[in-house]
Amino acid sequence: MGGKVPNQAPRFAKLITLLSAGLVIAFGIAFFAVLGNVPNPQQLMTPVIVTASPQFAESIEARVAAADPSKGAAIFEKYACNACHRAEDGVGPALAGMGKRAETRRPNYSAAAYIYESIIEPNAFIVPDYANIMVSNYKAKIPEVELFDLIAWLLGQ
């Protein structure tokens, strides 16, 4: 009887040692797995690329295609867009070339979708090197008929 206890104690201790070693290894693997998944700062700074055209694009394009660009110049003045958008770059990007640039500003945005968004939600994308100062209540201010005539005209600038 007396001999059994000292015989089993070392075995038990061995088992504990093995178990602890196993746990340490398991935790180690889990730790590095988690660490490996933490995005590095470089990854966090990479801009999200929009891979599909915005949902509103199709209906906007149809409405712009049906609009009357000949009324656009007057609407541009009526809402004082020309206070910031002159022929040349100034407070805002130049009016000249706006339609062409609009095709290139955001991935997967058509020119019409980009100009539409630029007017009704100017905060959605800020043109690099410009201040975020464009008036942001045009959605409420400009009736839709005028808005689409304006966009149709801007596409040709």
Which residues are at the interface with ligand HEC (CB under 6 A)?
A: 79-81, 83-85, 91-93, 98, 101, 105, 115, 118-119, 122, 126-127, 130-135, 138, 150
C-beta of 23: minimal distance to ligand HEC in Å?
56
Question: In the complex with ligand HEC, which residue's Cβ is closer, 14 or 139?
Answer: 139
Give dist(CA 50, CA 13) in Å, integer: 59
Question: In the complex with ligand HEC, which residue's Cβ is closer, 16 or 133?
Answer: 133
Nearest residue to ligand HEC, scored by beta-carbon proximity: 81
> Buried (b) or exposed (e) across 117-156, using 16+ Cβ within 10 A?
bbbbebeeeeeeeeeeebeeebeeebeeebbbbbbbbbbe
C-beta of 97: minimal distance to ligand HEC in Å?
8
Q: What is the number of residues in the chain? A: 157
Can you list the positions of beta strands (E) in the chain?
none
Give dist(CA 6, CA 154) in Å, integer: 93
Question: In the complex with ligand HEC, which residue's Cβ is closer, 18 or 91?
Answer: 91
Question: In the complex with ligand HEC, which residue's Cβ is closer, 20 or 136?
Answer: 136
Cβ pair 110, 61 in contact under 8 A: yes
C-beta of 100: minimal distance to ligand HEC in Å?
10
C-beta of 110: minimal distance to ligand HEC in Å?
13
